[in-house]
Chain A
Amino acid sequence: MRRTTATRTASIAVKGAAAVSAMAVLSACGGATSSDVAGSDETVRIAVNGWVGYEASAAVMAYLLEEEMGVKVDQQKIDEQPSWQGLNDGDLDVILENWGHEDLMEQYGPDGNGTVVDGGPNGNTGTLGWYVPKYLVDEKPELATWEGIKDNTDLFKTPESGDKGEFLAADPAFVTQDQGMINHFDMDLKIVHAGSEAAQITEMQERYSKEEPFLAYFYDPQWLQSEIDLVHVEFPEYEEGCADDEEDVSCGYPQYDLNKIFSKEFADADSPAYRLLKNWEWTNEDQNEVAKMIADDGMDPEEAAEKWVTDNGDVWKDWIPADA
């Protein structure tokens, strides 16, 4: 984020001129499409969704682009859904870590607007699901399964959930199927919406420190996983179609092979920056290493990226395109 002032000042005249000329061009031909809105400089614009793992990936990519290839990077903090819209409108070039979103691919992908393309896997595997703290499972091993949860919903009662057990739901931006699962497996649970990831994490940490029971939607890779011990609750494995009816879901969450999404324009231009992002593939451990530096050790994302890049030359050197 902390771009060096020198590059920014140098770019001011260029950018200003670009903006003015963009306007002049627009006025001349009359009418602006949404991709004109984005302007036309060669900065790579990365969508940064609001969780630390994503921020870690973005920081490393931005560092490599800027320091190794001399490409300017603009990181835009934004939620998942609007990021797709940003790609569609030409406001953004790439989403680095996409969790599913088949509906959006249908709307904006080759079969819809034709403005975005699948950029292939980034190597991370995403697990979504229901989690309970390890101290509960140590006491009652059956709590690691859905049957055990179903028989012990009383354990999770809170004032907010009344006479049912509390299921602590996630940030409203995330992909969920919890109500459908609760319906299908006929569990006496009530969803309590934490409303934001910050609130959810705070609540989990508080309960964890007091060793109180809780049952929550959570995911991995996530920095909190390295701070507190959570156990993933087993459900029948995901298979095609089991989650189609959102009111009645007969399986757990699928595993996601997290992938990259590019705007079609950015992919078609086939710039070196695009090829670096296209080549990039790393593991959950890689991401967690950077995420932990950011979330636990309090480093700036830039510093964390710099440290990772310095220590892991052999991992990233294959990503740099040959001609760059």
Chain B
Amino acid sequence: MTATTATPENAEAPRKLPDPGGDLRPGGAAVLRSALSRTWVQAAAVAAVLVLAAALPLPGGVTAFPGGPGEWLDGRLKELFSWVVSNRDTSPLFVYGFNYVSVYLGSAVVLIDDLLTALTWTGVTVLGVLAAWRLAGWRVMLVVLAAFAVFGLFGLWEEAMETLALITAAVLLALLVGLPLGIWSGRSDRAERVMRPVLDFMQTMPAFAYLMPMLLMFGIGNPSAAVATAIYALPPAVRITSMALRGVDKGAVEAAESLGSTRLQMLLKVRLPLAKRTIMLGVNQTIMLGVSMVVIASVIGAGGLGDAVYQALQKDRIGLALEAGLAIVMLAISMDRVTGAIGHGRPVPPPWKRLAFGAGLVAALAVFLLPTPLRAVDGWPRGWELDLATPAQAFYEAMKDTIGPFTSALGDWTVVWVLEPLHAVLAGAPWWLVIAAAAVLGGLFAGRRAAAVGVLSLLAMGLMGQWGNGMNTLSQVLLATVLVVALGVVLGIGMSRSDRAAAVVRPVLDAMQTLPPFVYLIPAVALFSVGRVPALVAAVVFALPPVIRLVNDGIRGVPANTVEAARSLGSSSSQLLAKVQLPLARSSLLLAVNQAIMLILSMVVIGALVGGGALGYDVVFGLKQNEFGTGLTAGLAIVCLGLLLDRMTQGRKNNA
């Protein structure tokens, strides 16, 4: 994505550079910059008005959004909830609909889990490693082997298998629904237009907010967890399939058409096979999202690794939580590498080899399902265990003692001097003024449409009774975004300057993205004390990796000859960076900001588990206290913030 959006600018770049006198500032960019600075002046004026208004001693009735509509909505949602509770066993919707889905899904998860149990750890390892070798080569096979070793050595084998069963069922469900929808949307523009906002919605709605309705519809435990995971993991399957079909080479399609193929033949014999690799990337993304959701699903009774993390934290066992967290990272990385390798397309071996391999698999299955001595019915040997928890715990204690005083002072400073003032401005100014400010800023940075979307989202948030919480969450999200972008740009530049640094950083970024945030939430509490700061820290850790990557890609994407030209004109490396590389990577940077905001929003609910409060807290409260209305409106309010911030940071698409 980065590469394609950067092309137009790159193409122009060499023409602009050789300016007389070695001044690297190109004429076009100067105009752009002065326009920008005018935009920034106007934006600053808007901010000043907000600050002034917030400083005025206005009565609460003026600043707060009127509460009536929110209360009305909450009442209706309460009624809906009671209706469902008292009609679950009589309404045809449940008797013929949801309850069936629940029975089948529940049984599917149990059957997969039972199969994995019956194979025992020896069987699962042999079959898994064989499959990885065949599908993805010996390097990936080693990764998979390492993952199985980690499960066993940390004493988490059963938990890992439970999680694997749940992910498998959920991903199958997501693909069963997602691939056909993707095909449809790839073949019909109208379908795509309808589906895009729905998918956007699914991706911004916090999963916690729909866990509760899932419980209502599908009951507790695995069925709900599987559906929630499937919903969460569905969007990339649809999007990437659609994109893949649209990207199929026109020539091949025309050739097949001229041979008189029917529409169905076209799809099955031409389009799908040609799009296969890209579609596999969608499957890969679906699996990755599934893995990250499985941890969250432990809140509604899904067992496995996610639950292990959760339980360990409950007892203040950071080390144990880390072990379970690492097991999840290994599971995620091996599933990623295997499906990724399929997506990148390995040469297909001759039929006899495939046949031999298939026969081998069947034989192995038989060996491990029949009572042969190779089965390890007693489970992973108790002696073979690796204790990472104790050293990790010791490290954690030592860290608390050494940097604890410093971090807690930093945290206090952040609350008093940054978060609280920012919150006071947003919550202290009259609501209509905040909306007007959003409209003006939207208009300045992203055009009229974005401004309209922003105004409507803020209004909707107020009408749902979530204005106060929304402003609180907004202030946290804004600060987190500034931090992530600042850190991301610095680290991304560092990464782009040295290949060795890049090689070291990459696996760290992988781990940061797959380690369940739960694992570092509690250490963040110990270091910064409960409240908005640990929530902020967790959001920054989670959102940073993609920003670093995008900045790195963007800078590396600047054509070498442009860089050479600038160097030959005598620019220092800081000039090169400031005047050439960063401006040319602008579209990557914009995308990075946008991604950062979306990821930070997705952490709002997680942050509430350590004191972030506001919208996130209401979502959790709604789920845990069966307050359907509170949870749903808070979840929708997060979607509204997402819409507002997303549109504002996508830039002027049409007139840029």
Contact = CB atoms under 8 A, between A and B. Distances in A.
Interface of A: 1-2, 4-6, 8-9, 11-12, 15-16, 19-20, 22-23, 26, 30-39, 50-52, 76-83, 85-86, 88-89, 91-92, 107, 112-113, 158-160, 162, 168, 171-173, 192-203, 205-207, 223, 294-295, 298
Instruction: Specify which of A15, A112, A193, A197 lies most central, judged by the most chain B CB atoms within 10 Å of its CB.
Output: A193
29 contacts: A1-B158, A12-B115, A12-B117, A16-B111, A19-B111, A30-B96, A33-B88, A37-B102, A39-B103, A50-B314, A76-B303, A79-B300, A86-B221, A89-B219, A107-B82, A113-B85, A159-B411, A160-B415, A160-B529, A160-B530, A162-B420, A168-B530, A172-B621, A193-B611, A198-B316, A198-B522, A198-B609, A199-B525, A199-B530
Nearest to B220: A86
Contact of A195 (B92, B94, B215, B620): B620
Contact of B611 (A19, A82, A192): A192
B613 interface: yes
> How big is chain B's contact interface, by range?
35 or more
A196 B313 CA distance: 10
A206 B102 contact: no
A22 B626 contact: no
Nearest to A212: B529
A79 B624 contact: yes
Complex A-B, nearest 6 residue pairs according to Cβ-Cβ distance, in ascending order: A160-B531, A173-B624, A32-B99, A19-B107, A159-B415, A31-B95
B529 A206 contact: yes
Contacts of B114: 8, 11-12, 15-16
Contacts of A39: 103, 106-107
Contacts of A83: 220
B221 A172 contact: no
A2 to B, nearest CB: 7
A39 B223 CA distance: 13
A22 B301 contact: no
Contacts of B412: 158-159
Interface in B589-631: 608-613, 616-617, 620-621, 623-626
B229 to A, nearest CB: 17
Contacts of A79: 299-300, 623-624
B219 A199 contact: no
A77 B302 CA distance: 8
B526 A77 contact: no
B219 A37 contact: yes
A23 B99 CA distance: 11
B173 to A, nearest CB: 16
Contacts of A37: 99, 102-103, 106, 219, 223
B118 interface: yes
Given A9-B118, A91-B221, A23 B107 contact: yes
Given A37-B103, A160-B532, A196 B88 contact: no
A160 B532 CA distance: 8
Contacts of B609: 195-196, 198-199
A77 B117 contact: no
A172 B118 contact: no
A257 B223 CA distance: 34
B610 A199 contact: yes
A113 B529 contact: no
Contacts of A15: 110, 114
Instruction: Specify which of A1, A5, A36, A201 lies most central, judged by the most chain B CB atoms within 10 Å of its CB.
Output: A5
B88 A89 contact: yes
A172 B532 contact: no
A88 B534 CA distance: 38
Contacts of B96: 30-32
A293 to B, nearest CB: 12
A12 B522 CA distance: 38
B356 interface: no
B219 A91 contact: yes
A89 B95 CA distance: 12
Given A199-B609, A202-B316, A203-B530, A172 B625 contact: yes
B530 A192 contact: yes
B504 interface: no
A77 B94 contact: no
Given A31-B95, A160-B530, A77 B298 contact: yes
A30 B215 CA distance: 23
Given A8-B117, A22-B103, A86-B220, A199 B522 contact: yes
A227 to B, nearest CB: 9
A36 B158 CA distance: 27
Contacts of A91: 219-221
Contacts of A199: 521-522, 525, 530, 534, 609-611
A76 B221 contact: yes
B610 A78 contact: no
A33 B95 contact: yes
Contacts of B314: 50-52, 197-198, 201
Contact of B215 (A85, A113, A203): A85
Contact of B118 (A12, A30, A80): A12
A80 B215 CA distance: 13
B99 A34 contact: yes
A135 to B, nearest CB: 18
Interface in B298-342: 298-301, 303, 307, 310-311, 313-317
B472 to A, nearest CB: 12
A23 B220 contact: no
B416 interface: yes
Nearest to A204: B530
A158 B316 CA distance: 23
B377 interface: yes
B40 interface: no
Given A192-B613, A193-B608, A195-B609, 6 more contacts: A30-B96, A77-B298, A81-B624, A172-B620, A195-B620, A198-B314
Nearest to A171: B624
Contacts of B104: 23
B612 to A, nearest CB: 7
Given A88-B85, A159-B412, A192-B530, A36 B378 contact: no
A160 B298 contact: no
A171 B624 CA distance: 9
A294 B299 contact: no
Given A5-B379, A193-B617, A199-B525, A32 B117 contact: no
A10 to B, nearest CB: 10
B220 A195 contact: no
Interface string B396-431: 000010000000000110011000100000000000
B103 A52 contact: no
B120 interface: yes
